Amino acid sequence: MGGQAIDGRPEWGRWPRVDGTPRRELRSLLAGGYTGFSSATEPRRLRLVATASVPLVVKIRDSAWRPPGFVHGVHGSYSVVDGDCAPEYLEVRLAPLGAYVLLGRPMDELSGQFVDLTELFGPSGRRLGERVRAESTWRRRFDIMDEFLLRRLDTGPRPTPEMVWAWRRLVGSGGTVAIRQLAAEVGWSHKHLITKFKREIGLAPKTAARLVRFQQALGRLDQQPSPRWEQVAADGGYADQAHLVRDFREFTGSTPAALWDTTRAGKPASAPHLTR
């Protein structure tokens, strides 16, 4: 869930995990591959980092917190949730426009919410969870997720071409392109661009741009043994270090330095990766 326990134990990347590669037809719709997590402990209070992607989670071993399978709609600020997290689960992160296709809902209807897979998909959502939990290997669980998402791909809506172009332009600029310029480039009014972003991404374009910029800055930290924060801010298109700190506080609930220290403390050995 891209989260961190806040009872003093770092959780980013800490749990044993197995990674799997989705089918080729799905990869452009996902923000990465499949991941199976397992742990002997269950954090009771979890901080979830803001993200433009949408996690789809199926619990292998259940917990009292949330349904046995759910999606977490895109959220533009960090949030804190109480209650035990499942000690074993499968997670796939849907890319912003990929979520619109695969979930088949206007994304602003799901923003910030935890939605039961059965509520979202009907009986097929319940069967997905049952089939995943019935398997004993991660490879077979990932195969079942492939089958489910490929069926959704065949029936889901398609984003408008202008939104596909606008999202790629936003990501390509590192979140720095002006929103009014973006609207002009696709031939929409500023108001219409906002409406379409909320429907197909789940966020207003300005928030989406800030998240793109933040996530790219976050990604660069993995490549730096000792970050120079003023340089990270400049490379990420921030006006100054204060703006970098503001975004990190809003999107993670932490300062860049504190987050980097916590993440490095919990960095695991390379995860096993299943390929086809």
pLDDT in tens, 101-116: 999 999 999 998 999 9
**174 near 211, Cβ under 8 Å?**
no
pLDDT of residue 8: 32
pLDDT of residue 14: 52
pLDDT of residue 198: 96
- What band does 46 get if pLDDT is binned at 50, 70 and 90? confident
Distance CA 37, CA 18 (A): 7
Distance CA 231, CA 37 (A): 34
Among the residue ranges 73-77, 78-82, 174-178, 254-258, the one predicted with the least confidence is 78-82
* Tally of CB atoms within 10 A around 37: 20
SS3 40: coil
In the sheet that holds 17-20, the strands lie side by side as 114-116, 69-72, 54-61, 88-94, 30-38, 17-20, 273-274
pLDDT of residue 261: 78
Say which DSSP state 276 is in: -
Separation in Å, CA 234 to CA 230, 238, 241, 260: 6, 6, 8, 18
pLDDT at 275 over 60: no
